[in-house]
Structure 1
Amino acid sequence: MTSTNLTQTEAQARAELISDVHYTVELDLSAGEDMQREQFPSRTTIDFRSGAGSTFVDFRAREVNSVHLDGEDITERAIGTGDYDATAGIVLADLAEGEHQLVVDALGDYSVTGEGLHRFQDPADGNIYLYSQFETADAKRVFACFDQPDIKATYSLSVRTPQPWRVVTNNVVATEAEGDTVLHRAEVDYLLSTYLIAFCVGPWHEVTDEWRGEITAHPETSDEALTAARTRGEIQNSGSQTVPLGLYCRQSLADHLDAEELFTVTKQGFDYYSEHFGIAYPFYKYDQVFCPEYNMGAMENAGVVTIRDEYVFRSAASHYEYERRADTILHELAHMWFGDLVTMTWWDDLWLNESFATWSAAMSQANATRFDTAWVTFGNKEKAWAYAQDQLSTTHPVFTDASDIVTVDANFDGITYAKGASVLKQLAAYVGLEAFFAGVRTHFAAHAWENATFDDLLSALERSSGRDLSDWADQWLKTTGINTLKASFDVVDGAYRNFAVEQSGAAPGAGETRTHRIGIGIYRTDDDGQLSRITRVDADVAGPTTAIPELDGTPAGELVIVNDDDLSYAFIELDADSLKVATENITAIADPMPRSLIWSAAWNMTRNAQMKARDFVALVARGAVAETEMAVLEQVLAQSRVAVSTYAAPQWRQQGWELLREAFLRGMKETTGQAQLAFARAFAHSVHSAESAQILQELLGGDAANYAPGLEIDQDLRWQFLIALAASQDESGESEEQVDARIAEEETRDASSSGAMLALEARSAVPTAEVKAAVWEEITQRGPQLSNLALRHRMAGLTRIGQGELLQPFGPSYVANAARMWEELSPEMALRTLSGIYPAWDLSEETDRQVAELIEAPDTPAGLRRTLREGRDRVARAKTAQAFDATE
């Protein structure tokens, strides 16, 4: 048995044996204010039905005090006589068929890694907050359970806390004061997987509202269609609905919680999903809790979504940051239906869970909120993530191996989220949007309050669309890599002849071609000097070459874009004339979608060593100042910095940074508002010269008028300038004492938790061998003692852009320590740390050889092997791009 790394085979066997589960979970957090106490009492009563056989219950902590089954003390038989072995779990041998009750008294461990029950003390006011994070399989860190998605259960939850604290969980909480403590109780009377239970505990600031709306009736979710589902739980399929809404954050962030905007986006999401999903929001209330030191964007716990509290903006935020936050809110809200109401049977369908929520968020943003260019952002940001992930040697099919939990956790990546969502977007285009929604509604009706698989959804979509989708699924879900599409044509007398779309085999992988539903756009300069679309045709392309007879004889344009409107998942290879026109006139493309596609194509060509990094930098320097899509602007500014630092020939980098700094300063001076802020941030994150370091000093001194008229330098921007200045000590001429004093003064000015972390990052960015050695030692030797957020900021400062030479000594140290760190750190922190400090700065053959040997070592854990392979791939890509950039 492998309770801490459950296998799919073990989960299937346990699900066949166990049913009708109810948990009574009792947590005593009354001493949670004592930061010296590392554990809390956890008592779990599990009522369940079993077939005849043996199984185990999961609990991952140091101490289990007693185990009783049906009133009998089975502690010794269940956990042995020595120290508790969480790997084996709590053994239930020779269960008789029938109903049973198991009672487990134990001590759970408070976490500082964002896994299980995380505890945080706010330096701003001393308040303590706790929140849970259970996906993928960490509910067992807090209470004993069958921790797998297909053993759904009901729950009775009780939490004892100090008097001032409130508890936010999956349902409405009743409280009862008892002396200096309060007992908080909640009933979860609907079927829910363990990973979707949540506890958020502490003196949270609260704002409430409600959503009122109508549920659009659809034939796929009629009363008749819901007959079976209603035997499992309540379902509303039409009429009006009112849902209580809550927002929660730390007291120190209360003044920054923009509740009106947050509620507006949330209600817009409710409006959209209530119109299209055919089933009302299925839970009693909808709370969103903004949590400190959060590892991810958010988590879809039923009725109580947890979200990183960086989304409570304490300083000026960019349009993209608001858009990103809205995307997160709508993503998690979509999960209430797809994920919580209907839940995957096992984690091999994790991709579907996340892809559907990602697709739904973009759809609802584009159609129901002010972020109506969400698909432009998706194409430029999310798909860039997917393309990069899909080019690694560790790429995997969208539908991939999920043999155990460790493997599943490794696949929370750009393929699972962004490629999967791209594939769903392609599927919706292929079958038609209405047929797609009809299939989704059919799926909800058939599987509400239970578990389902992708095959179930595919069957529903086949019925709604009338198409056989088995070949499509095989092409898109069971293969790896990216196809490249390009137009092939002749121009005769100003018109196209022999127009076709050529498709390369998917790479990396077996080289398959796929069926793509695409748009083909033809663009020409209009009377206003804009490159505008004059012709568009839709086409299904398949195989190496697909003729497009609709375009034969049509007037030729100056720019041809295959995959216009970004319907499919593929690289675009522009013909030579189109590439020249697009890159020389990118500011003349008025429509943000084709302009974004050109930016994306140029970036992919840079990464693939088909465009010189210096040419991409020149494109950004020339065209970024005119970019109107803020998400795209922020992306290309970031990509330009990577182009110089990673893909440009080393001998050109100084010139490249000069070119970028000039472009960023020009942007700061010539733009206003969101664009000006984006250029200011990009300037801060550059490698600096003596001249630009002086500009940083002047900006920190409050003199923005000469460089960025009208720019408000708020606290967060001050930190970005200060970190940049600390990292540029050699260029600024400031002494180590002056730098330290500057950081200490800013930390006094900003006494928040954010200030403390940013000061940590600034000190880690100081460019001396002594500082880097000390930070490296702390990360590699004291990692388990660092909180997840402290680790994140330490790594950011250590690996500050442009400081690779200072880190050269640490390549061999990384290889020497990697295996030990992987074992010592929690799974989440091991992955984040060893990815974050991978020696990408070390291009030496010796370090590459050592990494290769560690990859091939038979005792290297699979998760570490994957991390090393991906780091090595990125170094190889950088070397290839640098060599190409250096060519004449």
Structure 2
Amino acid sequence: GTLGTHEAETTKLWVFESTPTMSSYLTAICAGPYAEWHTEYANEDGRTVPMAMYCRQALAEAFAKDVDYLFDITKKGFAFYAKTWGVPYPYAKYDQIYVPEYNAGAMENIGMVTIRDQYVFESKVTDAYAERRVVTVLHELAHMWFGDYVTMKWWNDLWLNESFAEFTSTLATAEATEWKDAWATFSSGEKSWALRQDQLSTTHPIVAPINDLNDTYVNFDGITYAKGASVLKQLVFYVGREKFFKGINNYLNKHAYSNATLADLLAELELTSGRDLKAWSAQWLEQSGINTIATEVEENEDGTIRQLALRQSASAEHPVLRAHRLAVGFYNEDPETGKIVRTDQFELDVDGELTIVEAAAGKARPALILVNDDDLTYTKLRFDEKSLKFAAENLYRFDDALARSVIWLAFWDMTRDGELPAKRFIETSLAALATEHESTTFRYALAQISTTAWHYAAPADRAEVVEHVAAELFKLSQAAEAGSDEQFQLITAYLGYGEPGDAAFEANAKGLLDGSVKLDGLEIDNNFRWTIINALSAINAIGQSDIDAELAKRETTENREFALGARAVAGTAEAKEWAWNEALHNDELTNMQLESVARGFASTPRVDLAEPYAAKYFEVADWIWQNKTFHMAEALLEGLYPSYADPATLVDLGDAWLASHADADNALQRIVRGNVESSHRTLKVRDFNASL
């Protein structure tokens, strides 16, 4: 159309060619003065596929540095998927557009993927986050085939799109990019998410019933993505990789540009593999919950193994035992290097309650017996006593990133089940952080140490434990390689341990800001400045005027979010009241600003500040659900939960709320229930640690 007074404007008519047959939810239109970059790909079917990337002009300078790299990752993905599935990229172009205020990670619109622009890096980020961006790019690309070229018939099979994209993007990352340890990333990041969600009462089968619109929302969760992808990894091992991908090729060709179901996929995999997948599907996809596999060892007089048995159990709520195809690894010290390395491995099918590992009989007992070596199945692990003791003392010496991740995740699971003392988990983890280089494992270990110190340690010990962890993290950050990812993660984590009146902490944080405390190679860039300001605000070492002055230096979209968060995190009752009201009632806040305020509100680790909001949270939950859109309600109900309040209070109030809300929307109940159950767990684990 013409634009009023702008006489120079002329009418333009754009004619687009018809698209191939596509599912209606995969369309998108993006408009704006985006900065743009272009390249092309020589597609495996002989066509030339144009590719483009776009971002906001304000981010163009930063993004320009990464564009060639991201095009390269995309092209590696094109080649890997075309080869692995035997189907070349099917569409006419491939654009990736980094958009602001995006409430998901990214979306697989055909030919034009939208990606949250937090993935445009203006400041240093962890390697874990940089790798996550690569996995995200390859995840959305995988959807072009799986989800777009063939689309599920109904939302109950939604998990398959997501699990498949999550599994194959990890595979592509590990095998086609420089991030070779992507399966360790998957174990530490995805599986820990699945483990947490699968042990809540709100867990559901991977193939979840979809009764209403909200069910589709809440099922975009750790079961759909992370457990589903873990189970697909197990399926690939169960049927064999070559046979699996042959089945995928047949499935894609048979159902191109149309809809399919889980049954269609399993039928193809049964044909290529000869395995009965109906029984497999019934156990793994249609039943909730996670199994535990415990190791039982009997020794002969001479220290060789008389019998190695694997005992499988299930929870009372979900009493299903599953068939697992897995590997058992033997680990010993390598006398040359002093590293702990794998010296033997056995593959077998584990089924039912008791499975004997026949191949192990008569062999010398190793220092560690690792069930689920290579992380091929989805299960909780419990070690035999000797293996547990050895691994707890020697985790840092294990050579293989994936083995470390599997052991670490088992230790974390035991810690949150109240079976491994909090102090032991912390000591083992701190020792391993001194030598760990897999960034995602590093990131999750830091988060787990934090939860353990602040929430799981015995209340009488907490102050001492927190102080000890903070001191060790600072020491580790000083010892870390200059400018390294580990240094960056350690000092960032250290800045989360401030307490009001801690003069040494305040001096360190202020020193980092003014340059009087230096870590070689650590750049105090924009985002890291805000990390420090946040830490100082939390202990009331700077005020609102300082935050305002910092924002005035460089007022960007991102820095406005940081400033709101820094104000909300301040360690005063007034700041909490401001943040609470702002999050609930300021409709001017964008999604990202709202999340920033809620995060700041809830992340000050002080019982006295959180306690008054325990009752308020349960009073306002219904109002939030009725008055906010699903995504905003979820952000508020998850973000404002005052988890630093006394868990006994939260449990009493929470149980009462749940008892009186039996008829509330399923999605609302699930969000609140997840929070309340985490408080139940905190109470239980804290009592365990207090009893030691």
TM-score (norm 1): 0.75
Instruction: Measure how far apart 1:494 and its partner are.
Output: 2.6
Whether 1:699 and 2:503 are equivalent positions in the alignment is no
Q: 1:453 to 1:564 in 2, by over 3 A?
A: same
For residue 366 of structure 2, what is the aligned residue in structure 1?
557
The letter for the 1-side match of 2:327 is G
Q: For each residue in 1:279-335, what CA deviation from the matched residue of structure 2 results, as whole angstroms up to 9, or x when unmatched?
A: 221111111111111111111011110111111110112221111000000000000
Q: Is the 8 A contact 2:297 2:384 kept in 1?
A: no
Q: Is the 8 A contact 2:27 2:109 kept in 1?
A: yes
For residue 584 of structure 2, what is the aligned residue in structure 1?
780
2:494 to 649, 666, 683: 683
For residue 560 of structure 2, what is the aligned residue in structure 1?
756
Whether 1:207 and 2:70 are equivalent positions in the alignment is no
Q: For each residue in 1:751-795, what CA deviation from the matched residue of structure 2 results, as whole angstroms up to 9, or x when unmatched?
A: 21111110110011111111111211122233x442110111001
SS of equivalent residue, structure 2 residue 445:
helix
For residue 79 of structure 2, what is the aligned residue in structure 1?
271
The letter for the 2-side match of 1:204 is Y
For residue 636 of structure 2, what is the aligned residue in structure 1?
833
Q: Name stretches of at least 5 consecutive residues in structure 2 with no aligned partner.
A: none
The letter for the 2-side match of 1:208 is H
Superposition pairs of residues 815-830 of structure 1, within 5 angstroms: 815-830=618-633
Whether 1:886 and 2:668 are equivalent positions in the alignment is no
For residue 59 of structure 2, what is the aligned residue in structure 1?
253
For residue 346 of structure 1, what is the aligned residue in structure 2?
154
Instruction: Measure how far apart 1:403 and its partner are.
Output: 1.6
Q: Is the 8 A contact 1:241 1:280 kept in 2?
A: no
For residue 329 of structure 2, what is the aligned residue in structure 1?
521
Instruction: Measure how far apart 1:852 and its partner are.
Output: 2.9
Instruction: Measure how far apart 1:179 and its partner are.
Output: 2.7
For residue 809 of structure 1, what is the aligned residue in structure 2?
612
Q: Is the 8 A contact 1:617 1:656 kept in 2?
A: no
Whether 1:426 and 2:228 are equivalent positions in the alignment is no
Q: 1:181 to 1:839 in 2, by over 3 A?
A: farther
SS of equivalent residue, structure 1 residue 751:
coil
CA distance in 2 between counterparts of 1:194 and 1:488 reads 53
CA distance in 2 between counterparts of 1:674 and 1:262 reads 20
Superposition pairs of residues 489-888 of structure 1, within 5 angstroms: 489-492=297-300, 493-505=302-314, 507=315, 509-527=317-335, 528-672=337-481, 673-688=484-499, 689-705=502-518, 708-729=519-540, 734=541, 738-782=542-586, 784-843=587-646, 847-856=650-659, 857-888=661-692
Q: 1:244 to 1:188 in 2, by over 3 A?
A: same
Whether 1:404 and 2:212 are equivalent positions in the alignment is yes
The letter for the 1-side match of 2:143 is H
Q: Is the 8 A contact 2:551 2:563 kept in 1?
A: yes
Instruction: Measure how far apart 1:178 and its partner are.
Output: 8.5
SS of equivalent residue, structure 1 residue 198:
coil
Q: For each residue in 1:127-147, what CA deviation from the matched residue of structure 2 results, as whole angstroms up to 9, or x when unmatched?
A: xxxxxxxxxxxxxxxxxxxxx
Superposition pairs of residues 255-404 of structure 1, within 5 angstroms: 255-257=61-63, 258-404=66-212
Q: Name stretches of at least 5 consecutive residues in structure 1 with no aligned partner.
A: 1-27, 32-161, 164-176, 215-238
Q: 1:750 to 1:439 in 2, by over 3 A?
A: same
For residue 50 of structure 2, what is the aligned residue in structure 1?
244
Q: Is the 8 A contact 1:391 1:508 kept in 2?
A: no
Structure having the higher Rg: 1
CA distance in 2 between counterparts of 1:681 and 1:421 reads 30
CA distance in 1 between counterparts of 2:348 and 2:49 reads 43
How many residues get paired? Answer: 683
For residue 21 of structure 2, what is the aligned residue in structure 1?
191
For residue 35 of structure 1, what is the aligned residue in structure 2?
none
The letter for the 2-side match of 1:770 is E
Q: Is the 8 A contact 1:495 1:553 kept in 2?
A: yes
Structure richer in strand, relative to its length:
1
Q: Answer 1 or 2: higher relative contact order, Cα 8 Å, separation at least 6.
A: 2
SS of equivalent residue, structure 1 residue 536:
strand
Instruction: Measure how far apart 1:564 and its partner are.
Output: 0.3
Q: Say which is worse superposed, 257-266 or 800-809, in terms of deviation.
A: 800-809
Q: 1:832 to 1:185 in 2, by over 3 A?
A: farther
**RMSD (CA atoms):** 1.9
Q: 1:193 to 1:547 in 2, by over 3 A?
A: same
CA distance in 1 between counterparts of 2:2 and 2:221 reads 34
For residue 112 of structure 1, what is the aligned residue in structure 2?
none
SS of equivalent residue, structure 1 residue 190:
coil
CA distance in 2 between counterparts of 1:182 and 1:289 reads 24
Instruction: Measure how far apart 1:404 and its partner are.
Output: 1.7
Q: Is the 8 A contact 1:523 1:535 kept in 2?
A: yes
SS of equivalent residue, structure 2 residue 329:
strand
Instruction: Measure how far apart 1:841 and its partner are.
Output: 2.9
Q: Is the 8 A contact 2:307 2:361 kept in 1?
A: yes
The letter for the 2-side match of 1:255 is E
SS of equivalent residue, structure 1 residue 610:
coil
The letter for the 2-side match of 1:694 is A
CA distance in 2 between counterparts of 1:801 and 1:362 reads 34
1:416 to 224, 246, 254: 224
Structure richer in helix, relative to its length:
2
Instruction: Measure how far apart 1:802 and its partner are.
Output: 0.8
CA distance in 2 between counterparts of 1:846 and 1:656 reads 23
CA distance in 2 between counterparts of 1:539 and 1:520 reads 8
Q: Is the 8 A contact 2:200 2:674 kept in 1?
A: yes
The letter for the 1-side match of 2:498 is V
CA distance in 2 between counterparts of 1:850 and 1:560 reads 44
Instruction: Measure how far apart 1:696 and its partner are.
Output: 0.1
The letter for the 2-side match of 1:638 is A
Q: For each residue in 1:820-843, what CA deviation from the matched residue of structure 2 results, as whole angstroms up to 9, or x when unmatched?
A: 110110111111211111232333
Q: Is the 8 A contact 1:854 1:860 kept in 2?
A: no
Q: 1:184 to 1:636 in 2, by over 3 A?
A: farther
Q: For each residue in 1:645-667, what CA deviation from the matched residue of structure 2 results, as whole angstroms up to 9, or x when unmatched?
A: 12112222211221211221122
CA distance in 2 between counterparts of 1:858 and 1:523 reads 50
For residue 49 of structure 1, what is the aligned residue in structure 2?
none
SS of equivalent residue, structure 1 residue 565:
helix
SS of equivalent residue, structure 2 residue 615:
helix
Q: 1:595 to 1:845 in 2, by over 3 A?
A: closer
Q: Is the 8 A contact 1:644 1:656 kept in 2?
A: yes
CA distance in 1 between counterparts of 2:583 and 2:2 reads 30
CA distance in 2 between counterparts of 1:687 and 1:632 reads 24
Instruction: Measure how far apart 1:188 and its partner are.
Output: 4.3
Q: Say which is worse superposed, 571-580 or 558-567, in terms of deviation.
A: 571-580
Q: 1:319 to 1:846 in 2, by over 3 A?
A: closer
CA distance in 1 between counterparts of 2:386 and 2:15 reads 68
Instruction: Measure how far apart 1:847 and its partner are.
Output: 4.9
Instruction: Measure how far apart 1:719 and its partner are.
Output: 0.7
